[in-house]
């Protein structure tokens, strides 16, 4: 169905047909400036890995700030962390792990030419992504109602520090926690939204039959991105939700 | 693999060959191009625009400092002038200058590729730069910023009444343009090299850009997130950096300099790559110690990430941290010195020609050495206490960024101008301009070393009368320097219309970019080149002058 697009253009064939399309409209076959399909696939994959390295440094700055203040204000951070619903966080962790599985299955389906399964798995991935954002929304709503959103109406008075019932958390320090909480989870949610857009595009391409066992690079690098966003959450969950919690 | 070009055999040599400049016409063919060479020219136009804006601010600063009294502008206007001079020059000129213009143009050609790995991302990076630039312009036109280019908290987040948020967002957006350029270069250098172009045959320009790209992709995201925090803190008063609310201003400085010190190497490393190319070509010798020069670029990038706190010696970091950062800062001098010594050794017994690019390379050698050695002054804790935040620091980093990076950029622009435009620039004027730049630069900045050592602090718009003579010298030098910068712009523009057509290889230089036509065709090479020779094989090239260099096969 898509052989005209995916058939490899043998080396050495004059590429008049391609020479005008200097990186223009989308073409799943070989782009003109690559010599082989393998080179094109390797480039795309390396590009995504390097982008993820950039992302690690982007979140790294926040993790650094978090670690410093957590060390300084451990008790206040523990109290603030306890006010977040860990069950919601744990459910979101489960949701994201499931979505990573469905991404892998979608890629496997593309490799083994199972079109229906691939489309089903892409839809499932997006549903998991939306569920995650929904749960996140519930969590944000709770924080908003409890006046835990940093800013003018922030209040965190008379909250005891875990393990020290006679001491109250310092609201200023708790506000630093909630600032970092909202910036980190907010940026993570933004990445999820971008991921959903990416997967909507992948779904559309899969629907049009663009992916074959020979060519499914966009699916692979889209999957890399999705896994990365999941992994960020795997770090965020214990750091933000599980400070100083005891059964 | 072959590539069809529509060129018909020219009957007479007067018919212009098809090339990347005349293949398509019209604004759309430029704004939607994915050709790395056209994107390079888009960048060239944009950064030149910002260079003259930044230069205009510099001119006003120097005019204000002509007299000891603060008579030309108000104190807060002066604060805005030096802030915007720094922000425009650093983020909108120096960072993109060589990588986005010459790197964009040359990286694919030097490795024998048809384009960068991601041509559309390359165009996207230019648009991000333009969006950031427009935001910055809007910010400047509607009031500007007065925090200093460093955005130090808590002044920037709690006290300044100027447009900090807008400037922060502008730089945030422009940062992603830099990240995408670096990403594109790394993938291109890894995956797009022509057959036979091994790592040990890469031109040193490529090694330098590889090292630069590492810093761009690993450093820039950190300033991006730092600016996000500054903007959030200023908008909502979160307390992340505000000591009144338990935050730590030093954390900001750590995060800021984690990028902004390596950013200096984003500016200087590509320049070093250019100097390696020029010195080898104009002394007709293989570069001395190729491997050392290549690896020194990478080690500068790596060490560059480990020295940031030397900006904070007097800011209240622990003595032990200061000690470690001081030692590491000395360590960066080693790979830098490796380069300088190897360039000098390349000159030894070379057949040196004093064309304009070489004059800039000589200028770079001297000025970078002065800038680097005064950097060692600043890396030593005792002297830094004395000269911290004085004009000594200003002079030091201008010797690196203007005397180093900008000299290299101008040298490179002259060296590759025949390739870029297909026209020769007027050599006599170019040599004159190189001389004017060199004299103007030293006249501007050398007095500032003395001023700083005598104790004149930076960022003040008034000063005691005994400093006036040196300040007048500096302002006079800045005027000369300004003329030196206007000249190349004028004769480059002139040469595009009236210049003599350039041969494919006017300098008889080695390197794949000289084996294609001037200006190149859209896909750079008629046929994919196969490399069978080492980089800088000048001895070989000069031994068989009429033989067509081993070429496309």
pLDDT digits (tens, 9 = 90+) for B325-369: 999 999 999 999 999 999 999 999 999 999 999 999 999 999 999
Query: In the predicted model, what is the mean pLDDT of residues A102-111?
Result: 96
User: For residue A6, is it within any domain?
Assistant: no
Residues of B in Cβ contact (< 8 Å) with A55: 221
Judged against a pLDDT cut of 90, whether residue B83 lies above it is answered with yes
Contact assessment for residue A56 and residue A231, using Cβ atoms and an 8 Å cutoff: no
Contact A46 B190 (CB under 8 A): yes
Write b or e for each residue in A152-185: b if 16 or more Cβ atoms lie within 10 A of its Cβ, otherwise e.
eebebeebebbeeeeebbbbbbbbbbbbbbbbbb
Residue B11 pLDDT class (50, 70, 90 cuts): very low
Distant-in-sequence, close-in-space partners of A111: CB < 8 Å, separation ≥ 6: A213, A216
Give the pLDDT score at A12: 39
B312-328 b/e (C-beta count within 10 Å ≥ 16 → b): bbeeebeeeebeebbeb
Domain count, chain A: 1
Chain B residue with Cα closest to A66: B240
Q: What is the pLDDT of residue B33?
A: 94
Residue B26 lies in a domain: no
Q: Using pLDDT thresholds of 50, 70 and 90, give the confidence band for residue B10.
A: very low
Rounded distance between C-alpha atoms, residue B29 and residue B452, angstroms: 50
On whether residue A40 sits in a domain, the answer given is: no
Chain A to chain B Cβ contacts (< 8 Å): 136
The pLDDT of residue B462 is 95
Please report the pLDDT score of residue B39 as a whole number.
Answer: 97
Q: Do B251 and A68 touch (CB under 8 A)?
A: yes
- Tell me, yes or no, whether A190 lies in a domain: yes
Closest chain A C-alpha to B120 CA, distance in angstroms = 7
Which residues of chain A does B301 touch, with a Cβ-Cβ cutoff of 8 Å?
A: none
CA B310 to chain centre: 22
Closest CA to B221 of A71, A196, A191, A72: A191
pLDDT over 70 at B412, yes or no: yes
Q: How many domains does chain B have?
A: 1
Nearest residue on chain A to B123, alpha-carbon basis: A23
Query: What is the pLDDT confidence band of residue B14, given thresholds at 50, 70 and 90?
Result: low
Contact flag A73-B115 (C-beta cutoff 8 Å): no
- A28 pLDDT tier (thresholds 50, 70, 90): low
- In DSSP notation, B342-403 reads HHHHHHTT------HHHHHHHHHHHHHHHHHHHHHHHHSHHHHHHHTTBHHHHHHHHIIIII
Mean pLDDT on A84-94: 96
Boundaries of domain holding B260: 32-543
Residues of chain B with C-beta less than 8 angstroms from the C-beta of A73: 246
User: What share of chain A has pLDDT > 90, as a percent?
Assistant: 77
Mean pLDDT for chain B? 93
Per-residue pLDDT, B548: 52
B118·A43 Cβ contact <8 A: yes
Tokens for A4, please give them: 């005209």
CA–CA min distance A54, chain B (Å)? 5
Which residue segment(s) compose the domain that A60 sits in? 56-241
Residue B516 inside a domain? The answer is yes
**What's the CATH code of the domain at B229?**
1.20.210.10
Asked, for residue A15, whether it belongs to a domain, the answer is no
B408 token code pair: 């290299």
CA end-to-end distance (rounded Å), chain B: 10
ipTM: 0.91
Tell me whether residues A19 and B217 touch, CB distance under 8 A: no
Of A210-214, B138-142, B391-395, B544-548, least confident by mean pLDDT is B544-548
pLDDT of residue B551 exceeding 70, the answer is no
pLDDT attached to residue A244: 83
Question: Are A65 and B245 a contacting pair at CB < 8 A?
Answer: no
A11 to chain B, minimum CA–CA distance in Å? 6
Q: Is residue B99 part of a domain?
A: yes
A15 and B1 within 8 Å at the Cβ level: the answer is yes
CATH number of A93's domain: 1.20.120.80
CA distance A48 to chain B (A): 9
List all residues 6 or more positions away from B20 whose beta carbon is below 8 Å from its beta carbon.
Answer: B35, B37, B38, B519, B520, B521, B522
* CB within 8 Å: B247 and A176: yes
What is the average pLDDT value for chain A, to the nearest integer?
88
- Calpha distance B488→B415 (Å, rounded): 13
Give the distance from residue B198's alpha carbon to the nearest chain A alpha carbon, in angstroms. 16
Contact A23 B236 (CB under 8 A): no
Measured between CB atoms, does A46 come within 8 Å of chain B?
yes
What average pLDDT does this structure show over B283-287? 95
B218 is a domain residue: yes
User: Which of B191, B522, B528 lies at the smallest CB-CB distance from A42?
Assistant: B191
Does residue A45 form part of some domain? Answer: no
Is A158 an interface residue toward B (CB < 8 Å)?
Answer: no
Indicate if the pLDDT at residue A18 is higher than 90.
no
- CB A54 to CB B117 under 8 A? no
């Amino acid at each position: 169905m898509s052989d005209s697009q995916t058939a490899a253009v043998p080396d050495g064939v004059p590429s008049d047909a391609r020479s005008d399309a200097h990186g223009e409209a989308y073409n799943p076959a070989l782009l003109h400036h690559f010599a082989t399909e393998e080179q094109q696939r390797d480039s795309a994959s390396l590009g995504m890995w390097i982008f993820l390295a950039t992302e690690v440094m982007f979140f790294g700055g926040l993790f650094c700030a978090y670690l410093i203040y957590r060390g300084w204000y451990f008790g206040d951070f523990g109290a603030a962390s306890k006010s977040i619903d860990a069950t919601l966080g744990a459910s979101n962790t489960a949701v994201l792990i499931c979505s990573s599985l469905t991404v892998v299955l979608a890629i496997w389906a593309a490799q083994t030419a199972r079109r229906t399964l691939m489309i089903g798995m892409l839809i499932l991935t997006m549903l998991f992504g939306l569920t995650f954002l929904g749960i996140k929304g519930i969590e944000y709503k709770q924080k908003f109602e409890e006046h835990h959103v940093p800013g003018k109406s922030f209040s965190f008075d008379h909250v005891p520090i875990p393990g020290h019932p006679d001491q109250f958390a310092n609201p200023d320090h708790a506000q630093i926690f909630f600032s970092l909480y909202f910036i980190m989870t907010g940026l993570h949610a933004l990445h999820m939204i971008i991921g959903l857009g990416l997967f909507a595009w992948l779904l559309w391409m899969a629907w049009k039959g663009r992916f074959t066992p020979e060519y499914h690079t966009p699916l692979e690098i889209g999957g890399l991105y999705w896994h990365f966003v999941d992994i960020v959450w795997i770090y965020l969950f214990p750091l933000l939700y599980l400070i100083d919690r005891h059964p | 693999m072959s590539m069809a070009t529509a060129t018909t055999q020219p009957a007479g040599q007067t018919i212009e060959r098809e090339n990347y400049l005349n293949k398509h016409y019209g604004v759309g063919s430029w704004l939607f191009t994915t050709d790395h060479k056209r994107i390079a020219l888009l960048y060239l136009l944009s950064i030149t625009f910002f260079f003259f804006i930044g230069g205009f601010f510099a001119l006003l600063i120097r005019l204000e400092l002509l007299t000891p009294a603060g008579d030309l502008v108000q104190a807060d206007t002066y604060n805005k002038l030096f802030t915007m001079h720094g922000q425009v020059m650093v983020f909108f000129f120096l960072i993109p200058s060589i990588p986005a213009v010459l790197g964009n143009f040359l990286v694919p050609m030097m490795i024998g590729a048809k384009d960068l790995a991601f041509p559309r991302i390359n165009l996207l990076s230019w648009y991000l730069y333009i969006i950031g630039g427009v935001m910055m312009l809007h910010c400047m036109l509607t009031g500007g910023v007065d925090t200093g280019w460093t955005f130090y908290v808590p002044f920037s987040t709690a006290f300044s009444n100027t447009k900090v948020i807008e400037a922060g967002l502008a730089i945030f957006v422009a940062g992603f343009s830099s990240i995408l350029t670096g990403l594109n270069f790394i993938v291109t250098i890894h995956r797009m090299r022509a057959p036979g172009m091994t790592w040990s045959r890469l031109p040193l320009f490529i090694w330098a850009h590889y090292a630069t790209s590492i810093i761009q992709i690993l450093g820039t995201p950190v300033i991006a997130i730092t600016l996000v925090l500054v903007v959030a803190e200023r908008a909502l008063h979160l307390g992340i950096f505000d000591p009144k609310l338990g935050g730590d201003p030093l954390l900001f400085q750590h995060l800021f300099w984690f990028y902004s010190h390596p950013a200096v190497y984003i500016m200087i490393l590509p320049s070093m790559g250019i100097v390696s190319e020029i010195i080898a070509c104009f002394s007709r010798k293989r570069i001395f110690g190729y491997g050392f020069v290549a690896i020194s670029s990478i080690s500068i990038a790596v060490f560059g990430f480990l020295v940031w706190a030397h900006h904070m010696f007097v800011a209240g970091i622990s003595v032990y941290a200061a000690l470690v950062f001081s030692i590491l800062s000395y360590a960066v001098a080693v790979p830098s010195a490796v380069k300088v010594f190897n360039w000098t050794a390349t000159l030894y017994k070379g057949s040196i020609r004093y064309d304009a690019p070489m004059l800039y390379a000589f200028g770079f050698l001297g000025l970078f050495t002065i800038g680097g050695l005064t950097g060692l002054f600043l890396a030593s804790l005792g002297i830094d206490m004395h000269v911290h935040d004085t004009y000594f620091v200003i002079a030091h980093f201008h010797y690196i960024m203007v005397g180093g990076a900008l000299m290299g950029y101008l040298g490179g622009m002259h060296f590759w101008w025949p390739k870029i435009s297909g026209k020769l620039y007027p050599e006599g004027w170019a040599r004159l301009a190189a001389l004017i730049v060199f004299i103007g630069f030293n006249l501007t900045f050398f007095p500032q070393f003395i001023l700083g050592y005598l104790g004149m602090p930076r960022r003040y718009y008034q000063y005691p009368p005994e400093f006036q003579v040196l300040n007048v010298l500096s302002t006079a030098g800045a005027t000369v320097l300004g003329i030196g910068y206007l000249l190349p712009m004028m004769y480059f523009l002139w040469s595009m219309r009236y210049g003599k057509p350039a041969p494919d290889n006017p300098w008889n230089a080695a390197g794949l970019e000289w084996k294609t036509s001037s200006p190149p065709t859209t896909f750079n090479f008629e046929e994919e080149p196969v490399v069978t020779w080492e980089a800088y094989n000048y001895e070989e090239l000069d031994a068989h002058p009429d033989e067509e260099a081993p070429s496309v096969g």
